[in-house]
Amino acid sequence: MVSYMIKRFLFLIPLWLGISFVVFIFLQMAPSDPAEILLRKEGIDPTPEALVAKQKELGLHESPLLQYGRWLVRVIRFDLGTSYRTGEAVTKELSDRLPATLELTLISFMLIVLFALAAGLMTSLKSHGVLDRIGLILTIAGTSIPSFWLGLLLIYLFSVKWGWFPVMGRGNLFHLVLPALTLSFGITLVQARLLRTSLQEILNQNFITVAMAKGVSRSRILLIHALPNALLPFLTTLGMTLGRLLAGAVIVETLFSWPGIGRLAVEAILQRDYPVIQGYILFTAFLFLLINLCVDIGYRLLDPRIESGSM
Amino acid sequence: MIGQLKIALLIFLVLAVFVHGCKDTQTSPPHLPQEGASVLRIAVGRDLYDGPDSRSFIHGNLNAWESLTYLNEKLQPKEWLAESWQMSEGGRKWVFQLRGGVVLHDGTSLTQEMVVANILRYKKHPKYDPYGLYRDLLSIQPLGKRGVAFFLEQPFPHFPAAINYFGSALFHPECFNTNGQFIKFIGSGPYRFETNKNGIIRLHAHAVYWQGSPPFKTIEFWYIPDAVTRLNALKAGQVDAIADVGGILPHQLTELSQSKHLLIKRTTVATTHFLLFNTQRLPFNDLSHRTWLSTTLDRFRMTRYILGEAGIPADSLWTPLATDWYERVFPQGPSGSTPTQFQREIPVSILLHGGTLQRWPYKDIAEMIHSHLNQAGLKAIIRIEEAGSFKESLKRGNFNLALHPFTLMTGDPDIFFTWLMTVSPLILGAESKTMESWVAKARYEMNREERRRIYASLQKWVAEKRLLLPLYHDVVFYAHKESLHGLSLDPIFRPNLMAVSMNKNLHGQ
């Protein structure tokens, strides 16, 4: 198992390097010259001579590959550069905002796991029953409603009309409810539906029929025999869900003025703060890869039949 | 059958809850956590934190720093940290007498040396002096007991106006490093800067402020970029006011007016919104095409339908508040001229700055222009770009038309023409030399009548050349809880935080 984990971890390195290369190339292709941005920020007229001097100072005159190498070395040393806007280190900017995003993402993730499990189990108990049909309708609705619209609706009802929760900002648990609901709503319903389908398949298999014939209780069959088998596809998509949550947090954080890294990214994009944009993409990519690694390991723990070679 | 009935009943119940929630009735405001009347929360639609590598670290709206002079309602200079000023040597020497009893946030008194150090920072680091106010400054020195003398290379007729507000923002000299960047913040305003965290700038009362003790212990400025969330935060009682230019969009006014417990106010500000022409690119490199669009685009209709009371159709290059310089050079409404023959295969790009869309109805205006162009048989596209890309497109001429706001921050035309010469080289093109010489002439002209004459001619020249089209002058709407008293915005949209008070009996309603 340990060798598998090391192997999987080592596999992340080329993947992350690939991502970092793509990020670097994309930002190289951006329409403006970092030398010019910095010169303007320093109040210097970007004459051709000044530009050449600045490009030399920043190493921009070197080949892109060499530039990439130097940049990579700095990144490995956790030096993602300095924000053009605030003058703070990008790593500090990201680490200041990260707790808020993690809080929102993890709570949303917990909501997804809890509600999807509960709803999946309940709807699978009686196929085509009342709950199952409601679940189907809600799933269609949940996947059709864009998160920003759902967020606005929730704000209107629960904050403006009824005053139960704050409209925006980060603070106590009350502040978390609406953003977390907005972020998790659609995904929860899809996950529940997935689990329900998977459970239905398992419940129709022979070993379940045998267990029922032997008089094993319904709840035991569902929780002990069917659920672990049905969890595998659920867990795979759950891993991807975390990535979706991180990406979705950009919209939800902007809508609810939630001070996380998603909102930081939007502000950086609006103000063309390249080091922050670069840092954000690299960091979220790293986080995403790490989450997938955890999911893979969890997958293997749940089903030891899966061999490392088949991954 | 019974199962189906159950489903129908459940769906009905869910719908009923939503319909009830969407009914346009106002319930009593929510019981959200409140810190008491000692905290005032103001929502704004832009980030008022400028950072250490900026002129003033934080925006002037925060009332944390002050300047030698400020502007009155007619955009004329008035005394602030300087209680008087005198001009001599034909406009080459200006002496400002500092107000006594001004104490900075660290407890030190404002001195002449501090003023000198601040002005030298602007002079030494031109990036903190974007309009070149101190380009002609030869020297600055303390004079007498409280005077500060500015010696200039050229006469500077509107110097007290030019250096108002951001032009002479004053801080403790210990705030800057050798590069002129902020390492800490010590100002003299009624509120001192505490923190900028999670999009909230927190300020505390400066107890020994020279105008008296500030009414609130703490003031928070909440940066809420989304216009809908901003309004909902006010309606839900999470913030006490929305008070900034572009804080409330025109289409939100109807909804806002139906809210009980909220007061809506308006003020005409020094901001004018323009349609910029790329005069170096087809089709608007042709004066007749620019004339056609300028005269047929119905600004009355645009203002009436899109802005309502949030705008005044513009017939001048700058706000009518600047009465000293106001000239009506752009006739309003369609002139009846017929569309000219365009090269129809070239699509016209209307460029918008993405950051402005949550503050002004630029998208609606762009759509109206789009439709107008389409009716003339001209293809058009609306392009929305983020700040950096927008500036880049303006600079490189990657646009045909662009929407852009401009605020007459000094109340003097010089700042307008300086902006026009720098916003995009593709507007003026070859005409920039002509304009430069006129602007320089007016800048140093001490005879007020002659200056007025030059600016009048310049305005007419810009109007005849159709370099840009002023669309509307901004009227800012701001709103606050009815428990709040005395909140007002001035023409350069700074809230007067010394005059605000909270009625404790109504607070939290």
CATH number of the structural domain spanning residue B317: 3.10.105.10
Q: What are B313-335's pLDDT values in tens digits?
A: 998 999 999 988 888 888 765 55
> How confident is residue B76, by pLDDT bands cut at 50, 70 and 90?
very high
Q: Which of residues B470 and A237 earns the better pLDDT score? A: B470
Burial B15-32 (b: 16+ CB within 10 A, else e): eeeeeeeeeeeeeebbeb
Position B88 in a domain: yes
Alpha helical stretches, state H, chain A: 2-28, 34-41, 48-58, 64-76, 90-125, 130-144, 147-154, 173-203, 206-213, 218-220, 227-255, 261-270, 274-302
Of A23-37, A169-183, A224-238, B275-289, minimum mean pLDDT range: A23-37
Q: Which two tokens stand for residue B320?
A: 């009518």
User: A264 to chain B, minimum CA–CA distance in Å?
Assistant: 10
pLDDT at B36: 45
Tell me which of B146, B175, B204 is where a domain ends. Answer: B175
> Is the CB of B397 inside 8 Å of chain A's CB atoms?
no
Instruction: Assess whether pLDDT exceeds 70 at residue A82.
Output: yes
Q: Which of residues B248 and B341 earns the better pLDDT score? A: B248
Q: Do A172 and B47 touch (CB under 8 A)?
A: no
Q: What is the mean pLDDT of residues B250-274?
A: 89
Of A69-73, A94-98, A306-310, B213-217, minimum mean pLDDT range: A306-310
Burial B216-238 (b: 16+ CB within 10 A, else e): bbbbbbbbbbbbbbbbbbbbbbb
Share of chain B above pLDDT 90, in %: 49
ipTM above threshold 0.85: no
Q: What is the mean pLDDT of residues A163-167?
A: 88
Q: What is the mean pLDDT of residues A158-180?
A: 88
Q: Which of residues B99 and A236 earns the better pLDDT score? A: B99
Spatial contact of B284 and B400, defined as CB atoms under 8 Å apart? yes
Spatial contact of B287 and B53, defined as CB atoms under 8 Å apart? no
Q: Do B225 and A254 touch (CB under 8 A)?
A: yes
Q: What are A23-59's pLDDT values in tens digits?
A: 888 777 766 677 776 666 555 566 677 777 777 777 7
Q: What are B5-41's pLDDT values in tens digits?
A: 455 555 545 544 443 444 444 443 333 444 445 899 9
> Is the CB of A140 inside 8 Å of chain B's CB atoms?
no
Q: Domain locations in chain A?
A: 2-76, 101-259
Position B196 in a domain: no
Q: What is the mean pLDDT of residues A245-256?
A: 83
Measured in whole angstroms, how far is the alpha carbon of residue B347 from the centre of its chain? 32
Q: Which two tokens stand for residue B327?
A: 């000239």
pLDDT at A43: 53
Question: Which string of DSSP letters, residue by residue, matches A38-60?
Answer: HHHHTT----HHHHHHHHHHHTT
Amino acid letter, residue A30? A
Instruction: Assess whether pLDDT exceeds 50 at residue B501.
Output: yes
Alpha helical stretches, state H, A256-273: 261-270
Q: What are B176-230's pLDDT values in tens digits?
A: 998 898 999 999 999 999 999 888 999 999 999 999 999 999 999 999 988 888 9
Please, what is the average pLDDT of chain A? 82
- The residues in A 201-240 lying below 8 A from B, measured between CB atoms, are none
User: B233 to chain A, minimum CA–CA distance in Å?
Assistant: 5
Question: Which string of DSSP letters, residue by residue, matches B8-46?
Answer: HHHHHHHHHHHHHHHSS--PPPP------TTEEEEEESS
pLDDT at B21: 42
R_g (Cα) of chain B, nearest Å: 25
User: How many Cβ atoms sit within 10 Å of the Cβ of residue B280?
Assistant: 15
> Is the CB of A175 inside 8 Å of chain B's CB atoms?
no
Q: Do A164 and B30 touch (CB under 8 A)?
A: yes
Query: Are B276 and B129 part of one and the same domain?
Result: no
pLDDT at A263: 86
Euclidean distance between CA atoms B402 and B398, whole angstroms: 10
R_g (Cα) of chain A, nearest Å: 24
Euclidean distance between CA atoms B86 and A229, whole angstroms: 88
User: How many Cβ atoms sit within 10 Å of the Cβ of residue B404?
Assistant: 22
Q: Number of helices and strands (H, E) in chain B?
A: 13, 21
Residues of B within 8 A of A163 (CB-CB) are 27-32, 236-237
Give chain B's domain count.
2
Q: Do A41 and B53 touch (CB under 8 A)?
A: yes
Closest-approach residue (CA) in chain A for B17? A157
Instruction: Assess whether pLDDT exceeds 60 at residue B506.
Output: no
Instruction: Assess whether pLDDT exceeds 60 at residue B339.
Output: no
Q: For residue B498, what is the DSSP state?
A: T
User: A71 to chain B, minimum CA–CA distance in Å?
Assistant: 23
Give yes or no for a cis peptide into B283 (omega within 30° of 0): yes
pLDDT at B330: 82
Q: Do B127 and A43 touch (CB under 8 A)?
A: yes
CATH superfamily to which A101-259 belongs: MetI-like (1.10.3720.10)
Instruction: Assess whether pLDDT exceeds 80 at residue B503.
Output: no
Q: Do B199 and A255 touch (CB under 8 A)?
A: no
Instruction: Assess whether pLDDT exceeds 60 at residue B354.
Output: yes
Euclidean distance between CA atoms A201 and A126, whole angstroms: 13
Query: Are B293 and B164 part of one and the same domain?
Result: no
Euclidean distance between CA atoms A221 and A223, whole angstroms: 6
Euclidean distance between CA atoms B388 and B392, whole angstroms: 6
> Is the CB of A269 inside 8 Å of chain B's CB atoms?
yes
Euclidean distance between CA atoms B489 and B60, whole angstroms: 12
Q: Which of residues A225 and B41 earns the better pLDDT score? A: B41
User: B2 to chain A, minimum CA–CA distance in Å?
Assistant: 10
Domain that holds residue B274: 269-474
Instruction: Assess whether pLDDT exceeds 80 at residue A96.
Output: yes
Q: What is the mean pLDDT of residues A11-24?
A: 84
Burial class (CB in 10 A: 0-12, 13-18, 19+), A212: middle
Of A277-281, B23-27, B292-296, minimum mean pLDDT range: B23-27
Q: For residue B83, what is the DSSP state?
A: E
- The residues in B 46-85 lying below 8 A from A, measured between CB atoms, are 47, 49, 51-53
Euclidean distance between CA atoms A211 and A226, whole angstroms: 11
> Is the CB of B486 inside 8 Å of chain A's CB atoms?
no
Q: Do A87 and B198 touch (CB under 8 A)?
A: no
Residues of A within 8 A of B355 (CB-CB) are 270
Q: Do A257 and B53 touch (CB under 8 A)?
A: no
Q: Which of residues A9 and B193 earns the better pLDDT score? A: B193
Euclidean distance between CA atoms A227 and A224, whole angstroms: 6
Of the ranges A275-284, B110-119, B126-135, the best mean pLDDT one? B110-119
Residue B195 β-bridge partners: B202
Cβ-Cβ pairs closer than 8 A, A with B, add up to 119
Q: Do B199 and A160 touch (CB under 8 A)?
A: no
Euclidean distance between CA atoms A68 and B125, whole angstroms: 33
Position B141 in a domain: yes
- The residues in B 232-261 lying below 8 A from A, measured between CB atoms, are 232-233, 235-238
Residues of A within 8 A of B10 (CB-CB) are 130, 134
pLDDT at B342: 62
Of A54-68, A224-238, B128-142, B263-277, minimum mean pLDDT range: A54-68
Residues of A within 8 A of B128 (CB-CB) are 43
- In the block, tokens 């606050």 appear at B480
Q: For residue A196, what is the DSSP state?
A: H
Q: What is the mean pLDDT of residues B459-477?
A: 91
> Is the CB of A37 inside 8 Å of chain B's CB atoms?
yes
Q: What are B118-141's pLDDT values in tens digits?
A: 999 999 988 888 788 898 999 999
Best residue of A83, A125, A167 to probe chain B, by most B CBs closer than 10 Å? A167
pLDDT at B370: 93
Query: Are B274 and B412 part of one and the same domain?
Result: yes
CATH number of the structural domain spanning residue B140: 3.90.76.10
pLDDT at B345: 64
Q: Do A161 and B3 touch (CB under 8 A)?
A: no
